[in-house]
Structures are given as C-alpha cells and as structure tokens.
Amino acid sequence: MSKKVIDYIVKNDEESIDYLVQTIERIYKNQFVKVMVVDDSEISRQYLVDILKVQKFMVLEARDGLEAISLLVKNKDTKLIITDYLMDKIDGFELTRKIRRHYSSKQLAIIGISAYGSGLLSVKFLKSGANDFIMKPFVEEELLLRIRQNIEILEQLDAYQRLSHVDYLTQLYNRCFFFEIGNKIFENAKRKNLEITTAMLDIDHFKLINDNYGHDIGDLALKHVAQIISKNLRASDIICRYGGEEFCILAVNIKKPNDFKVFEKLRFLIEQSRLQLANREISLSVSIGVTSQVFDSLEENIKHADELLYKAKQQGRNRVVVD
C-alpha cells in the first residue's frame, strides 16, 4: 500500500461496507492509542513510524531497549510496543521480559520483529512475553492487521474488565470493586496519609416508586440519582451502588465542615431535580449519613455511615446527618 493510503476496500458485497465502517471507527480510536516503536536502525524505525502515523496513532520512538523503558515510565498508558530483536544494550527478548515484570499481556501488547533467525526466534519472543511476532521483510498490510488485532483484543479485555467492575444499571462501581479499591484508600487513611469521608445515601420511599409506577420507573430513578451523584462529585471520589436503592461514597480529603456542605448540596440537587417520564414527572429525595472518622475497617466506617443514614430517616428523611 502507498504510505498515504490508510486502507483499501474491495467493493463486492455488504461485508465490504461493514469493513469500511469498522476501519473508519478504528482510525478515529487510533488518535487516542499510544504505540511505541523500538529499533536501533533509524531507517527501520522511521519506516514503522510513518506507517503508524498514517493510521493516526500517537507514536513514540526509542532507539534502544533502555530508552524504551524510560519512555514507558513517562507514558504508562502505552498500549502497544513494536520492538526489534537485535539491538545494542538490551535485545528485544530482554526488553520484553523487563516490561512483563510490570505490565501483563492484558494491559500492553508487544509485537516482536526481526530480519534474523529462524522460526525459533518467534517462539523465543512469545515465551519471553510477546503477544505476537512478525518476520522482516513483511507485507505492510499484514503488519497493520496484526497491530489492529492486538489493539482490539486489549480493548475487548478492557471492556470485559469494566463490566466486571461496574453496576450494569447505574454504570457506577459495583460493591465488589468498591471494596477492592476502597480498602487500599482506607489503609492509607489509617496510616494518616490522607483523610477520608464515608457516606451512605438512600433514595427515600423507593418501594413506593416501584409499587406505584413499576420497576422500570424504579430503574430510571436509580439511574437518575446515579447521574446526579457522578456529575457533582469529583472524579477521585469512589462511588458505588451498594445494593438496592443505596449508594456508598468514599471521598478523600474533604475537610470539616465541607463534608456537610458537599452532601447537603448533593441532597438539594436531587430534591430540585425531576425524573421526566412520558406523561408526568416524579420528585425524588434522598437521605444521607456521613462520617469523617476512621474506624478499624472500611466495613465499620460504612456501618457507622449507615447508622447516621438511619438517623436521617428517623428525623423525617430528605436530610444529611454527619457525625
């Protein structure tokens, strides 16, 4: 293919149109994908870089394995490394092994390339941790298909992992993942490296919403509240659907009395919002319990926040209670 041609489509059936659409989507996604080329030959490296730039990838260059490792430290979100085998300082095998100590094949793909050796070279590359191998000289089209395949496998794995971490209805973290990351934050708080605020939030009279309007509307109410929470808390705050109509929030470094202000604002925004339906609108309110103490475990923190939530319910609902 010409260096200025992204791809070509054989126009012969409906599958060709599907391939065209997939290629356009792929090129768009490539703008956000970092690919590193590691080769001590400037000519070979530039050839690969030019191919990748035509495909709109974000391209990084390294002249040897040591430079590649240094570059990877600064670009931890790199998704693919294409590395030559025969290089000074450390070869492609050793580079691959070093990378695999920190990045699994599910996080970062490695394609080995070489003009030397036999079929055993590909075996050694794969045993060192590479995802794929291609021999020089290669057909450009085959290289691009290998690159595309490896990146799309990573994207699929990322999507599967996200599904395992996220509540399907609200798109917030699920309870299991909340504890996985929340316990790490909690341990830092116990060592006094940071301050944490734990909050439990519950939609008031949620059973009545289900009973009066049906479970489909109840699901819409959950999504509505989840969106308001996500939009008005920080990206660093850990939010999960804890169960049923309950949400749990773990926030870092909110000083008193700002803990009350943050969650009072959240309560007010939910109260002022309306769940819009086809022929009506529904008002919602929430009760929130908030603690900025650090107990012996994250579970105890949540239990204490839940007790404060219960007090908010006892005091008439639609309010925030802090300790």
- What is the SS3 assignment for 185-204? HHHHHHCCCCCEEEEEEEEC
d(CA 212, CA 12) in angstroms, rounded, equals: 55
Is the separation of the CB atoms in 114 and 86 below 8 Å?
yes
d(CA 304, CA 78) in angstroms, rounded, equals: 42
Instruction: Decide: residue 117, CB within 10 A, 0-12 exposed, 13-18 middle, 19+ buried.
Output: middle
| Catalytic site includes residue 15 | no
Q: What does each C-alpha distance from 72 to 62, 69, 157 come to in angstroms?
A: 10, 5, 21
d(CA 252, CA 260) in angstroms, rounded, equals: 14
Q: Which DSSP state fits 297? A: S
Catalytic residue, from 61, 141, 180, 245: name it. Answer: 245
d(CA 175, CA 187) in angstroms, rounded, equals: 18
- Cite the active site residues: 245
